[in-house]
Amino acid sequence: MERCIVSLTKFMWEDGQGEFHAPAQMSTRHLFYTVKMLWNHIVPAELRLIPFKQYKLRPPRFNNEYCKTAVSELYKELMSRDDYWQYLNQLNQMKKKLQEWQISNMKEVRIE
């Protein structure tokens, strides 16, 4: 018989004061600025959105896996909101910067 392990806990965001928040309970503004803050700390400096404020995101909590999960979960919740459009310009800037960076950092493609 196969065992299926199901996580009974949902993702929770830990803020700078050590308080935990379910993404569904966060305001749209809080969701966006948290995604933006994580973006600015994860991407190379040339992809950051200005203004940029450096935070001390330290392991073990803010490891690569947690940050990737946080961006994914918070972004999904943000995009489910009716009022996310007010941040659409900056979200599109993030997407454009990432696409341009990916293209400029592609290695030469050899087709044989």
Digits of tens for pLDDT over the chain (112 positions)?
444 333 445 899 988 788 899 999 999 999 999 999 999 888 888 888 888 888 887 767 778 788 888 999 999 999 999 999 999 999 999 889 888 888 887 655 555 5
Pairwise CA distance, residues 37 & 41, whole Å: 6
Asked if residue 4 belongs to a domain, the reply is no
Asked if residue 62 belongs to a domain, the reply is yes
Q: What is the pTM of this model?
A: 0.78
* Residue found under tokens 């960076």: 101
Asked if residue 111 belongs to a domain, the reply is no
Asked if residue 1 belongs to a domain, the reply is no
Asked if residue 47 belongs to a domain, the reply is yes
Pairwise CA distance, residues 19 & 52, whole Å: 23
The total of structural domains in the chain comes to: 1
Give the range of the structural domain holding residue 70, as residue numbers without chain letter. Answer: 27-104
List the beta bridge partners of residue 13.
21
Asked if residue 13 belongs to a domain, the reply is no
Asked if residue 112 belongs to a domain, the reply is no
Residues 6+ apart with CB under 8 A from 100: none
Asked if residue 14 belongs to a domain, the reply is no
